[in-house]
Structure 1
Amino acid sequence: LSYCGLALRFITEDYKLHNFILGCILYDIDSQSANNIRLFVDAQLLSFGLTLNNKIFVVTDNENKMRAAFKEKCTRIGCSIHYLSKQLEHSFTSEEIDRTFVRCTEIQKLFDNVKKVVTHVRRTHRQVKLKQKLQLYSDTRFNGAFYMLNVFLNVFDDIGSVLSSGYIDYLTGVDKDLLEEVCQFLIVFDNAINQLSEEERPTMHQVLPIRQLLIDHCEVIFEDSSELKELKLFLGERIRSVWILQDQHYICTFLHPRLKRFDTAPHEKDIAFNLVKQELLARISTPSVTTDTASKAVATDGTVIIDSTAPVNSNNLLDRCFDKPRPITSSDATPVKELNDYMALVVADEQSDDILLFWKNHEKTFPTLSKIVRDFYAIPASNTIVERLFSASKNIVTDRRTSLAEAKLNKLLFL
């Protein structure tokens, strides 16, 4: 049986973010073609009095059938965590991707040895003797390799006591130093996935800076082992080429007052500025405002952040991406005064902790930009709210409860 998860997310006029799970609904159409998926989703939305149009954003995973299903009468946004998790999966499990060999041979040997030991210990029910329960790798779990490897590292010294003799060779094939090095490297990816999957706060503005931070994290340094260098090179290149930013990512990053100068990704700044300017002009109805903009320069600098930035070793990845303090500079005149004033705004650190509260407090000063925020900041960086819905269903459909009527799963999830 297949199920379709649907969730609704929006920001009210009072700048409150709301999430509503519409359902986990039995998919009762014969094939999962793009056309059938779209027909099914449209029918389910219509039952709630909802329809898709070009002003609605739809966040899905990045499978080809989902891309095709939502290419019209909506704006599809790819799930950022799906992009990232797939590349992590390839680095540990794929020999070839897009007709290119995955050159992570030693890392994959390490992964395979750990997986064989973990599978054996769990199957023989001997892990009760360990201080921590081993985690079996699952390709449906985001960053699943990290969780398996990290728990294995935590009990590494005790594993030998619960192994059968036939599996000792797999354990001795695991280099503990390399295992520790890989786990330390993957922690940042786990932090990124956790931050981008947050449901109660806006996350779209975090995608661009965190993506850039991960690319920088994959830069090879002298101290890296040769095995980790292979992993870094592969992941860095895959993130650049596969995890493609969309216009909404640029706009949302720019509309965070502590990210608008793009200190973490200066090469993206002009793209973001021009997209925000374009969106702003499209929403301004006064002809006199829009006719003379092409020849006018708009200031892209002129902001200072008061207070110190977060420590470099902060676990919050976004803290590492905030713009650095700098003196106020003068800005050129521009017909788009609202945008110019936003660039010149002086913001204290604590004023931007709650980004929706910040825009609520500045709504009268920046009326058009604040409307853009309400529209775009409602877009989640990922579709994990639906993924968690599927995970919750595992707690309902168990080995002892397999005869539930198909429609009852949806009802039980909401009890």
Structure 2
Amino acid sequence: MSAVWKHFKVSEKDAKFAVCSHCPAELSRGGTSAKTYSTSSLIQHLKSRHPDQHAEYEKDAAAASAAKRKVLSPTPTPSVVDFLEKTKRFASDSAKAKGITKKIMEFIALDDQPFSIVEDVGFGRLIDFIEPRYTMPSRRYFSDVCLPEMYNVVSTQVHELLATDITALSFTTDIWSSDVSPTSMLSLTAQWIDKDFKLRKVVLHSQEFRGSHTAAVISNAFSKMFDTWHIDRSKVHAVVSDNARNVTKAMEESGLKGIRCTAHTIQLAVHDGLLSQRSIADVIAIGRKMIGHFKHSPLAYTHLQSVQEQFGMPPKRLQQDVSTRWNSTYYMLESLFAQKRVLAAYLADHELPATFTAYHWVLIENVLSLLAPFEQITKEISSSDSSVADVIPLLAALKRLLNKEAETDHGVKTTKSALLEAVSTRFSQVESEPLYCIATVLDPRYKDNYFDVGKKQRTREMIQAELEPLGDVDGQGTHSAGEAGNNTDRKRARTTDEPHTSSLSDMFEEILQENIPNVLQRTSSTAQQLDCYLSDVPIPRSNNPLEYWRNNQSRFPDLAQMARRYLSAPSTSTDSERLFSAASHIIDEKRNRLSCEKAEKLLFIKKNLPLFLKK
């Protein structure tokens, strides 16, 4: 509709005429029907009689005309030059091409992709669809040029991170051999607590390890790795490894404080106290035969699935164990026990190479109950934020639990005693080891509540020995009757042992209830810090100890710095083991000819690059 009708309306008497909205004039529309009507006379009337309204009309008409042109032609027609520019391939050194190449290299490293993926048809079509102007480099370019470049960038960032304010570094190490290639690798991961009391971790090495794995060779490899990263030996707090004799000896020859992996030690204790028992070994052997039957017979597994569906259970495979991981044996027995009814129904129509008797099922149930706290401990110490401070309290709770009678002890009392003895023997040195003792006291969740009176005093002396350079400390702290009297309201009632306690968490609470915070005479600033800290009630186990120190470092500055050192040590070598789990994905059947040098670079990027990526 013309913009002129803003100022006119059709006559109600005769549609051939229009009435002006600004004066009484009635004007002919210049035709006899709707097809022949025009607005010329209306526009002329506005121009001669109403100039202001005519100017408004012209403005509205111009705007309507522009809008119409925009609808008919939304984009300008590109020139030939513009068209050719958009179809032109990127130069290999252009910023856009380099950016895409970098992202593809990140994709290869972070997602364990083979270099050959850049030659795959599907991947090539995807990239061509996203950006047709990009020319894909060869796989050799990615492996020989892009990989070293990215490794150098990340390596520089790790060097800069290690050059920050670090009071102590703790390490984990392990040796791994590939199943698909003649490759062995030695790992070294580092972790520390920064000035903001945040736990930081980096992977330093997963290098090829040729020849004999003697202590001398391992020690020499450690020296080279420390030199590569310019690590001051005085800042090396501890190195956590498995219980292999050659690694332990290498720590001694290198002058490093070696810690045995708690998870490995628990593995040995469980094997000594339980898995070596004849009756239990027989049950495990039967379980392996049963699972092996379903694993190697798709038809048998199909029948098992049918029975599971009849019982309204989701189809689930039975879990095979690994002899070197006791908890995998626990999960195997757990999966079998969960399918007890299903297996009984399966046996009604099908055969198995071996079966459990009623006695075996009772034994499995009791063994699972006996091993449950071990499985809980293994999970806790294998978490990414676990430290050596967790070891003594966990062992104290475990020993107390094993000393208690339970309804599920039937048939496993001897095994339970053997487990307790194995745990006590395997961890006999832990409670006298300064590294563990000091770390436990400096963890605000535990403090000295897990020590007897003699060990409390010895641990206090250990801490004082480190605090002495920071101030004058009276090594013989004495009780102040007045202060002790003021803290009687903090005493918690002693509880009697319950004969059927089965929770590991209950053991922690019992131990804390039996210990009253000691308030000692304050004799100097550093001693005062220790006294005040120990007199505070421990924080809940679910709380983060590093957050506590971040919030209380102004109250206990010297202890806070000690905490940065002692709480940096992990309790297991899990980080190195997880590193080699990633290595098994990199050196696999599709990439079994990948050199160790390139595999190490890929692992290094995969583990460290996420630390520096912008989110």
**TM class, shorter-length:** 0.7 to 0.9
1:405 aligns with 2:595: yes
Q: Which residue of 1 aligns with 2:376?
A: 191
Distance in 2 between residues matched to 1:315 and 1:361, nearest whole Å: 29
- The alignment's TM-score, normalised by the length of structure 2, stands at 0.57
SS at match of 1:132: coil
**1:260, distance to aligned residue in structure 2 (A):** 2.1
- Correspondent of 1:234 among 396, 405, 418: 418
1:177 aligns with 2:362: yes
Q: Which structure dedicates a bigger proportion of its chain to helix?
A: 2
* Pairing 1:9-408 to 2, within 5 Å after superposition: 9-28=191-210, 30-53=211-234, 55-71=236-252, 72-94=254-276, 104-125=277-298, 126-127=300-301, 129-130=304-305, 131-141=315-325, 143-159=327-343, 161=346, 165=351, 167-168=353-354, 170-172=355-357, 175-199=360-384, 201-219=385-403, 221=405, 223-243=407-427, 244-245=429-430, 246-262=433-449, 268-281=455-468, 283-284=469-470, 286=471, 289-290=472-473, 293-294=474-475, 296-297=477-478, 320=509, 323-324=512-513, 331-335=520-524, 336-345=527-536, 349=540, 353-408=543-598
**1:33, distance to aligned residue in structure 2 (A):** 0.6
Per-residue CA shift, 1:267-292, capped at 9, x if unaligned?
743333332233322x32x4xx24xx
Q: Which residue of 2 aligns with 1:101?
A: none
Change in CA separation of 1:382 and 1:326 when aligned onto 2, cut-off 3 Å: closer
SS at match of 1:23: strand
Distance in 1 between residues matched to 2:491 and 2:475, nearest whole Å: 33
**1:74, distance to aligned residue in structure 2 (A):** 1.9
Change in CA separation of 1:172 and 1:365 when aligned onto 2, cut-off 3 Å: same
Distance in 1 between residues matched to 2:255 and 2:273, nearest whole Å: 35
Change in CA separation of 1:296 and 1:400 when aligned onto 2, cut-off 3 Å: closer
Change in CA separation of 1:18 and 1:110 when aligned onto 2, cut-off 3 Å: same
Task: Give the number of aligned pairs.
Answer: 393
1:6 aligns with 2:170: no
**1:385, distance to aligned residue in structure 2 (A):** 0.7
SS at match of 1:262: coil
Distance in 2 between residues matched to 1:330 and 1:401, nearest whole Å: 63
Higher relative contact order (CA 8 A, sep 6+): 1
**1:227, distance to aligned residue in structure 2 (A):** 3.3
Q: Relative to structure 2, which stretch is displaced further, 366-375 or 385-394?
A: 385-394
Percent identical: 21
Distance in 1 between residues matched to 2:362 and 2:255, nearest whole Å: 52
Q: Which amino acid aligns with 1:49?
A: H
**1:313, distance to aligned residue in structure 2 (A):** 7.8
Q: Which amino acid aligns with 1:373?
A: A
For the Cα contact (< 8 Å) 1:210–1:321, is it kept in 2?
no
For the Cα contact (< 8 Å) 1:218–1:233, is it kept in 2?
yes
Gapped runs of 5+ residues in structure 2?
Answer: 1-182, 306-314, 494-500, 607-615
**1:56, distance to aligned residue in structure 2 (A):** 2.7
**1:42, distance to aligned residue in structure 2 (A):** 2.1
Change in CA separation of 1:327 and 1:249 when aligned onto 2, cut-off 3 Å: closer
Q: Which amino acid aligns with 1:354?
A: N
Q: Which amino acid aligns with 1:137?
A: D
**1:174, distance to aligned residue in structure 2 (A):** 6.6
